[in-house]
Amino acid sequence: QSALTQPASVSGSPGQSITISCTGTSTDVGKYNLVSWYQHYPGKGPKLVIYEISKRPSGISNRFSGSKSDNTASLTISGLQAEDEANYYCCSYAGSNTLVFGGGTKLTVL
């Protein structure tokens, strides 16, 4: 069970859109529609922004959206805002009641 692969960093200017990829395998991301995404500010607990590929929890802006193609899930943030600057982690169900996280992506808003 290896960690999911995410780019170490992405950046964008205010108002732009960015996409963070999360690549797994046919035994986790590719097999289950159970990918979630978390926003993490240093010193705080991570916050769920997307679950089950593309569902948004109550209170999460519709600027956040998720998708999946084969073994890769993606998180898109549109209309970038300064407050979106954070670390983002993907997570997938990996069978046998286990979960696997990605290595994390640092989003910088220029």
Partner 1 sequence: QLQLQESGPGLVKPSETLSLTCSVSGVSVRGNNYYWGWIRQPPGKGLEWIGSVFYTGSTHYSPSLKSRVNISVDTSQSQFSLRLSSVSAADTAVYYCARFRTGSYSDFWGRGTLVTVSS
Q: What residue ranges bind partner 1 (CB under 8 A)?
A: 1, 3, 32, 34, 36, 38, 40, 43-48, 51-52, 57, 89, 91, 93, 96-104
User: Of the two residues 45 and 82, which places its CB atom closer to partner 1 in the complex?
Assistant: 45
In what helix (H) or strand (E) does residue 58 lie, and over which residues does it extend? none
User: Of the two residues 30 and 46, which places its CB atom closer to partner 1 in the complex?
Assistant: 46
User: Of the two residues 10 and 48, which places its CB atom closer to partner 1 in the complex?
Assistant: 48
Q: In whole angstroms, give the CA distance from residue 2 to residue 26.
A: 12
What minimum distance in Å lies between the beta carbon of 64 and partner 1?
A: 14
What minimum distance in Å lies between the beta carbon of 9 and partner 1?
A: 13
Dig out the tokens for 9 from the structure: 């960093």
What minimum distance in Å lies between the beta carbon of 36 and partner 1?
A: 4
The alpha carbons of the chain give a radius of gyration, in whole angstroms, of 13
What minimum distance in Å lies between the beta carbon of 93 and partner 1?
A: 5
Q: In whole angstroms, give the CA distance from residue 71 to residue 40.
A: 24
User: Of the two residues 13 and 45, which places its CB atom closer to partner 1 in the complex?
Assistant: 45
The torsion of the CA quartet 80, 83, 88, 91, rounded to 10 degrees, works out to -90
Burial of 95 (0-12, 13-18, 19+ CB in 10 A): middle
